Copies of this chain bind each other. A is one copy, B any other.
């Protein structure tokens, strides 16, 4: 079976996010003053061929830990897209 998995990777809450701060400055320069904070992360979708959902989740977790996310600075969330 083929599973569509979405992995959200965001900078850890306690860390500064310089990219987010830069985007926030840009938005304020465009006159969008109502925006108070910006955090920028990644959104990765994987199409996984696996026997069942738990096997697909295991593959997605391994991919996140080994390559996609940097555990020192980021946390990730795995979600199945139906």
Distance in angstroms between the alpha carbons of A20 and B2 in the assembled complex: 18
Instruction: Check A32/B62 contact, CB under 8 A, given A40-B42, A41-B43.
Output: yes
- The secondary structure that dominates the A interface is strand
Instruction: Check A47/B62 contact, CB under 8 A, given A67-B27, A68-B23.
Output: no
With a cutoff of 8 Å between Cβ atoms, the chain B residues found around residue A59 in the complex are: 32, 34-35
Q: Which of B9, B34, B39, B49 contacts A45 (CB 8 A)?
A: B39
Chain A interfacial positions (CB closer than 8 Å to B)? 2, 8-10, 20, 23, 26-27, 30, 32, 34-50, 55-56, 59, 62-63, 66-68
Q: What are the 10 A-B residue pairs with the smallest beta carbon separation, nearest first? A: A43-B43, A37-B47, A41-B43, A36-B47, A39-B45, A34-B49, A34-B59, A8-B43, A40-B44, A34-B48
